[in-house]
Amino acid sequence: RRAMLVQFKNRPGETSDGRRVIVEGNIGTPEDAVRVAELGGEGVGLFRSEFLFMDRDDLPSEEEQFEAYKKACETMAGKPVIIRTLDIGGDKEVPALNLEKEQNPFLGYRAIRICLNQTDLFVTQLRALLRAAQYGDLRIMFPMISSIEEIRNAKQVLQQAKDLLDAEGVAYNPNVKVGIMVEIPVAAVCADMLAKEVDFFSIGTNDLIQYSCAVDRINEKISYLYRPLHPGVLRLIHMTAKAANENGIEVGVCGEMAGTPGMAPVLCGLGVTNLSMSASAMLAAKADLAAHSFAECKEFAERLLCAASATEAEQLFAEWRA
Q: Name the residues that contact Mg ion, by CB under 5 A.
A: 183, 204, 207
Instruction: Rule CB under 6 A: choose which of 207, 216, 250, 288 binds ligand PEP.
Output: 207
The amino acid at residue 153 is N
d(CA 54, CA 51): 5
Which among 10, 138, 63, 82 is positioned nearest to 253, based on CA atoms?
82
Beta-strand pair 80-84/22-27? unpaired
Q: Which helix (H) or strand (E) holds 311?
A: helix 310-321
- Measured from the CB atom, the residue of 206 and 293 that comes closer to ligand PEP is 206
Among ligand PEP, Mg ion, none, the one that 255 touches (CB under a kind-dependent 5 to 8 A) is ligand PEP
Q: How far is the CB of 207 from Mg ion (least distance, A)?
A: 4
d(CA 202, CA 182): 6
Q: Give 198: exposed, middle or buried? Use CB within 10 Å, 0-12, 13-18, 19+.
A: buried
Among ligand PEP, Mg ion, none, the one that 254 touches (CB under a kind-dependent 5 to 8 A) is ligand PEP
Instruction: Rule CB under 6 A: choose which of 8, 24, 48, 72 binds ligand PEP.
Output: 48
CA within 13 Å, CB half, 173: 19
**Contact region for ligand PEP (CB under 6 A) — 32-40, 161-169, 202-210, 280-288?**
202-210
Which among 25, 57, 29, 31 is positioned nearest to 44, based on CA atoms?
25
Q: Quick one: the chain helix, strand, coil %, rounded to 5?
A: 50, 15, 35
Q: How far is the CB of 78 from ligand PEP (least distance, A)?
A: 24
- Measured from the CB atom, the residue of 8 and 211 that comes closer to ligand PEP is 211
d(CA 43, CA 151): 24
- Measured from the CB atom, the residue of 205 and 212 that comes closer to ligand PEP is 205
For position 29 contacting ligand PEP by CB under 6 A, the verdict is no
Q: How far is the CB of 253 from ligand PEP (least distance, A)?
A: 8
**Contact region for ligand PEP (CB under 6 A) — 204-212, 218-226, 290-298, 311-319?**
204-212
Q: How far is the CB of 204 from Mg ion (least distance, A)?
A: 4
Site for ligand PEP, rule CB under 6 A: 46, 48, 87, 183, 204-207, 254-255
